[in-house]
A and B are shown apart, each in its own frame.
Chain A
């Protein structure tokens, strides 16, 4: 119980620190929105010209995007400090974390919260609204209940991957470029329905690097699409299970990393 209180204090302090510069924060949110608007804009140009992408209409593509925005928004909120984790190791700041009587992972995660999540949530809700309208989603009670479950599963997948690639820094020290590729660039894959890729890549994105579960598979369920184009129809409900598997593996690799850790001495 006591440690939860400490975590809460860390949480509120980090939010307060970020909100110190309100104008800068708002401008930052606006810049992120413009970045995604550009990405959306290119998608609309293509859809305007070609009408659909492998059987996915504009509305369905927008819904696909909303699932992704929610998952990455919450992942950014919780796991943001992991992006710069190699710096904590190189600067020797991680030593400080180890001598405190709290879980190292908990401390690293709670040391910083990225408020840019606000931008992702704005995008997520906007995309959800327009996606629902244009794709005529029938929101049954079952779907409404499962939506947060699927988003949580997506956060576990994205967060787990982030944690795993972060843990690499325990062995290699500097791993910025790897973190950047695995966390940010790979996201591009699921901006589009995964069935545009060849079979090998679909297999990879399902079983090896399972980000297809963040939006592609569960979207079939919400949009009442038949599972015909999928590797297997039952995969569409796989997100929570895959999420738990990924986060479990990643916590083990993090722990292995902490055990392997030797201070850089700086």
Chain B
């Protein structure tokens, strides 16, 4: 897809978000509410023991993780029912005859959405959290660059996951239960709330077989300094492999879906 066109789509989607200013304020409150609950929870859990390090995390490290993983997660906010709505109102037909790739148009729309959430929600939430909580981020240039690369890779994976879930509306009339499943798996296995290090041993092999931990957990561990710089590189390689795997799935499903698509008369 033409990069200029891509950027155009991103900016249109961004501007759509700006319209709802009140929603944006409520969004900050909503995100901070989660940060507050989980930092309180970790502080309460750690206060029960004399030992200060649990599963490799000090209290400062786990509070930092809780804040930053939520920050990454909020930046990754996208509308996962775009494709569903397009199928429902029949406008998907228009997408099919456009000369641009549907996947990249969808990605552009997500990027615009997410950029807005990042600027309007993540930034204020992180600033408030840094003032209120004891947070430590190692400020090394290479680390932050690696984090950004890993974040973009994680973002592409989340976007592909949503694309796959959205494509299910080509086969099913109602996809809300699938979105709920996806949300449950994503929340549980991505380390979005509890880092994978705390998972019991029997779950770790299952986590390792799934792509979810590459979406939130690994990018965050790079930023907080839990992953070494060498680890960070192998994390990014693994993320790229998952992008290829999920990309193939997206491509195959899109090909099959186009033939299968049932439109409800619009």
Binding site for B on A (CB under 8 A): 21, 24, 27-28, 30-32, 34-35, 37-39, 41-42, 45-46, 48-54, 172, 174, 176-178, 180-181, 185-186, 188-189, 192, 195-198, 201
The answer to whether B193 and A188 touch across the interface, beta carbons within 8 angstroms, is no
* Given A28-B176, A45-B198, A180-B30, 7 more pairs with CB closer than 8 A: A21-B174, A46-B45, A50-B45, A50-B49, A172-B22, A189-B33, A196-B41
The answer to whether B45 and A177 touch across the interface, beta carbons within 8 angstroms, is no
Task: Tell me the dominant secondary structure on chain B's binding face.
Answer: helix
The answer to whether A45 and B200 touch across the interface, beta carbons within 8 angstroms, is yes
The answer to whether B181 and A201 touch across the interface, beta carbons within 8 angstroms, is no
The answer to whether A42 and B188 touch across the interface, beta carbons within 8 angstroms, is yes
**Bound complex: CA A53 to CA B203 (Å):** 22
**Bound complex: CA A179 to CA B37 (Å):** 19
Given A50-B48, A53-B41, are A188 and B177 neighbors across the interface (CB < 8 Å)?
no
The answer to whether A45 and B184 touch across the interface, beta carbons within 8 angstroms, is no
Given A54-B44, A198-B40, are A188 and B33 neighbors across the interface (CB < 8 Å)?
yes
**Bound complex: CA A181 to CA B44 (Å):** 24
The answer to whether B26 and A178 touch across the interface, beta carbons within 8 angstroms, is yes
**Bound complex: CA A37 to CA B174 (Å):** 22
- Residues in chain A near residue B176, CB distance under 8 A: 28, 31
Q: Which of A24, A27, A38, A186 counts the most chain B CB atoms within 10 A?
A: A38
The answer to whether A45 and B40 touch across the interface, beta carbons within 8 angstroms, is no
Q: Could you jot down 29 A-B contacts, CB within 8 Å?
A: A27-B177, A31-B180, A32-B180, A34-B180, A35-B181, A38-B184, A39-B187, A41-B188, A46-B45, A49-B55, A49-B198, A50-B48, A50-B49, A53-B41, A54-B44, A54-B48, A176-B23, A177-B23, A177-B26, A178-B22, A178-B26, A181-B29, A181-B30, A186-B33, A188-B33, A188-B37, A192-B41, A192-B44, A197-B36
The answer to whether B41 and A52 touch across the interface, beta carbons within 8 angstroms, is no
B104 contacts chain A at the CB level, 8 A cutoff: no
Which residues of chain B from 160 to 205 have any CB-CB distance to chain A below 8 Å in the complex?
Answer: 173-174, 176-178, 180-181, 183-185, 187-188, 193-194, 198-200, 203
The answer to whether B198 and A24 touch across the interface, beta carbons within 8 angstroms, is no
- Residues in chain B near residue A189, CB distance under 8 A: 33, 37
**Residue on A nearest B47 in the bound complex, by CB:** A54
- Residues in chain A near residue B47, CB distance under 8 A: 54
**Bound complex: CA A262 to CA B208 (Å):** 56
- Residues in chain A near residue B55, CB distance under 8 A: 49
CB-contact partner of A38 in B23, B27, B185, under 8 A: B185
Give the Cβ gap from A129 to chain B, nearest Cβ, in Å: 23
B34 contacts chain A at the CB level, 8 A cutoff: yes
- Residues in chain B near residue A28, CB distance under 8 A: 174, 176-177
